[in-house]
Amino acid sequence: MSRLQEVYLGLDVGGTNIAGALVDKEGIIVKQVKLPTRAREGQDVVVSQMCRAITLLLGHAEQNEFYVQGIGMGIPGPVSVKEGISLHSPNLFWDNVPIRDIIQQQFSLPVAMDNDVRCAAIGEKFFGAGKVAKDVICVTLGTGVGSGIFINNHLFRGFRDIAGEIGHITMNPRGPKCNCGKNGCLEAYVGAPNISRRAKEAIFNQKYSVIVEMVNGNLADITPEMVHRAALAGDELAKNIIQETAELIGLALSYMANLFNPQLIIVGGGVARSGEMLINPIRDTIKANAMREHGKILTVVPAQLGEDAGMIGAAWLLNAD
Amino acid sequence: MSRLQEVYLGLDVGGTNIAGALVDKEGIIVKQVKLPTRAREGQDVVVSQMCRAITLLLGHAEQNEFYVQGIGMGIPGPVSVKEGISLHSPNLFWDNVPIRDIIQQQFSLPVAMDNDVRCAAIGEKFFGAGKVAKDVICVTLGTGVGSGIFINNHLFRGFRDIAGEIGHITMNPRGPKCNCGKNGCLEAYVGAPNISRRAKEAIFNQKYSVIVEMVNGNLADITPEMVHRAALAGDELAKNIIQETAELIGLALSYMANLFNPQLIIVGGGVARSGEMLINPIRDTIKANAMREHGKILTVVPAQLGEDAGMIGAAWLLNAD
């Protein structure tokens, strides 16, 4: 008699691809699939791509005698976890899609959903850099800026499941317009497109940067990754942009340190690929601005799971609360 | 056979007075005492005053067949709740006083302690303005500025019991020196002595204010209460100070709204006696700076228990976690 291995099915639904995986109780990916999202073709196509990814993974599970405990989905943009609804997802062109019930009707398994930032945080907390601690904040620096907060090993969601919105803390009420409609949010400075914009503005306003050559003078092509490479090459303008980015992130994280008194802050997301060049001044800024005791007990580390965090966390959703 | 009434004994230890009470399960004060703290006479005198207050209350309980369940104490300044130690209390001239064990050795009852801000928050949460909600932040505006955070009806303390330090959020890294050693903390602007200082500076720097007459030209005598009265009388300078105070508090509370997604924020403490004149612009600033969804579900109300909050909350300490 063979013993069935328990696994969880996670989907990370992005604007371009759907990444799906069977994940075991240790957070190890035992099978992985990737399908195009085809978001521009409409909601039904995205849903059928999601169902296809799930079906492929369930088929693999059956062949290998994996026992699938449930399905978890990470959806970009604001969601209502209680109702299982994607409220508004610019990347998927969705508004008010009751995606949990739609998927539940197709598969006789428990289904959970949350937004992609929180899923990535769950992955890092339980199977990545956060395994070692109970009181953890995992911040994701990408196009958007968000965080997942864990208190005594449980995900903290808030009254209406929208806690952790560090990206929309007002850093400067007279600052640049943010996607959320307000001005001067952290994300309006350090979200990936805004790092590019700030580099562009700095080049316009002042001086030489190697970035201009990198994009052959086409400043619209600047990416945060280029700013990072330029800074590595010693470019002053790029180094300033990264320093300023780190100081803004560090200041906002010092607020979280004072308010949540966490043991560990994990810094992840695409922008965090700048590594120690970004994380060191983030650490310094937190220490300089958090209360002494709060700073003393706090460790700040880079994320470990990279792009896998989202699907691993989605798979673990049913266990995270 | 008479039925014993269950009560809790709470002490609010201030720099001037020790307020003690027997409080029933509904948060009603059934007996109250007040003794001078005599803080300048040394730690032993303060402890013996605390013991005297407890003994008086226990005597009253015995006479009236109240069954005392335990003792809770609110101590000003940072504390270690787990160890039961007052780490540093400028008001009491204390450093590292293991007050929980000291009191425990005198009385054969369970003893709990926490700082005074958190005790006041517990009082308001469970028996004042916070009774109606589960996810509540109670901010105290006094000489110091702090908060108590309740998640699903439980006090949230953080990894080392020092969560909720809204008073030491950096509003401006180049701002005025704060008691905590950093610069530009919220408290460095809106703590009671700093409201007085800002009024004094504004008078020095610029123009006429009725406050000058209130203090007979002795600007060192300015109190926040005078600023409030001057503003009520239409004094422009005083109105500006209060507006600026409210905007700084509202901005910091908008961070808490985004991060904790609370249902209710309660504004208490001496400075909050300015009432709607302060709370209305606080509300406006939160709405303007929190994310739309976070602001929409949030209610901001004044505290209800006044100075009793501290001892009622101290009495309830053993039940608040």
The helix or strand, by DSSP H or E, that contains position B136, with its residue range, turns out to be strand B136-141
Tokens of B118: 């958190």
HSE (CB half, 13 Å, CA atoms) of B189? 26
- Name the minimum distance, in Å, from the CA of B274 to any CA of chain A: 25
Quote the pLDDT of residue B179: 87
- Grade residue B233 by pLDDT with cuts at 50, 70 and 90: very high
Average pLDDT rounded to a whole number, residues B23-50: 96
Do both B75 and B139 map to the same domain?
no
Do both A95 and A73 map to the same domain?
yes
- Name the minimum distance, in Å, from the CA of A62 to any CA of chain B: 40
Q: What is the SS3 assignment for A95?
A: strand
Quote the pLDDT of residue A219: 92
| Cβ distance of B166 and A134 shorter than 8 Å | no
Q: What are the strands of the beta sheet with A29-36, ordered from one edge?
A: A29-36, A17-24, A5-13, A66-75, A111-115
pLDDT in tens, A109-145: 999 999 999 999 999 999 999 999 999 999 999 988 9
Do both B140 and B275 map to the same domain?
yes
Domain range for B23: 5-124+309-319
DSSP states along B263-286: SEEEEESGGGGGTHHHHHHHHHHH
CATH of the domain at A218: 3.30.420.40
- Grade residue A88 by pLDDT with cuts at 50, 70 and 90: confident
Do both A151 and A81 map to the same domain?
no
The helix or strand, by DSSP H or E, that contains position A111, with its residue range, turns out to be strand A111-115
| Pick among A258, A265, A286, A299 to test the B interface (most B CBs inside 10 A) | A258
Average pLDDT rounded to a whole number, residues B233-258: 97
Q: What percent of chain A has pLDDT over 90?
A: 89
Quote the pLDDT of residue A245: 97
**Which chain A residues are within 8 Å of B263, Cβ to Cβ?**
159
Cβ-proximal residues to B109 (8 Å cutoff; 6+ apart), any chain: B9, B68, B69, B70, B71
Average pLDDT rounded to a whole number, residues A151-155: 96
- Grade residue B2 by pLDDT with cuts at 50, 70 and 90: low
Residue A70 has pLDDT above 80, yes or no: yes
Query: What span, in angstroms and rounded, lies between the C-alpha atoms of A134 and A105?
Result: 35
Average pLDDT of the residues of chain A = 94
Query: What span, in angstroms and rounded, lies between the C-alpha atoms of A252 and B142?
Result: 25
The answer to whether A164 faces chain B, any CB pair under 8 Å, is yes
The size of the A-B interface in CB pairs under 8 A is 117
Do both A57 and A111 map to the same domain?
yes
Residue A1 has pLDDT above 80, yes or no: no
**Which chain A residues are within 8 Å of B161, Cβ to Cβ?**
261
Residue A21 has pLDDT above 90, yes or no: yes
Instruction: Report H helices in chain A.
Output: 43-63, 99-106, 116-127, 186-190, 192-205, 210-214, 224-232, 236-260, 276-289, 292-296, 309-315, 317-320
pLDDT in tens, A28-67: 999 999 999 999 999 999 999 999 999 999 999 999 999 9
- Name the minimum distance, in Å, from the CA of A290 to any CA of chain B: 7
Do both B154 and B291 map to the same domain?
yes
- Quick one: which of A262, A254, A258 has its CA closest to A297? A262
- Grade residue A3 by pLDDT with cuts at 50, 70 and 90: low
Average pLDDT rounded to a whole number, residues A164-192: 95
Do both B29 and B55 map to the same domain?
yes
Do both B32 and B156 map to the same domain?
no
**Which chain A residues are within 8 Å of B173, Cβ to Cβ?**
251, 288-289
Quote the pLDDT of residue B97: 97
Do both B215 and B243 map to the same domain?
yes
The helix or strand, by DSSP H or E, that contains position B291, with its residue range, turns out to be none
Quote the pLDDT of residue B320: 81
> Are the C-beta atoms of residues B46 and B66 closer than 8 Å to each other?
no
Cβ-proximal residues to B12 (8 Å cutoff; 6+ apart), any chain: B18, B19, B20, B74, B116, B119, B310, B311, B314
Do both B54 and B107 map to the same domain?
yes
Do both B165 and B37 map to the same domain?
no
Quote the pLDDT of residue A2: 53
Quote the pLDDT of residue B271: 87
Tell me which range, B180-184, B216-220, B261-265, B271-275, is most confidently predicted by mean pLDDT: B261-265
- Quick one: which of A116, A159, A112, A120 has its CA closest to A136? A120
Quote the pLDDT of residue A321: 73
* Predicted-complex ipTM score: 0.93
**Ramachandran angles phi, psi of B4, nearest 5°:** -70, 140
- Name the minimum distance, in Å, from the CA of A292 to any CA of chain B: 8
pLDDT in tens, B72-81: 999 998 899 9
Q: What is the SS3 assignment for B210?
A: coil
Quote the pLDDT of residue A168: 96
Tokens of A304: 């470990």
Query: What span, in angstroms and rounded, lies between the C-alpha atoms of B294 and B302?
Result: 19
- How many folded domains does chain B comprise? 2
DSSP states along A303-318: -SSGGGHHHHHHHTHH
Q: How far is CA A218 from CA A208, A211, A215, A231, A294, in A?
A: 14, 10, 5, 19, 44
Quote the pLDDT of residue B1: 42
Do both B59 and B91 map to the same domain?
yes
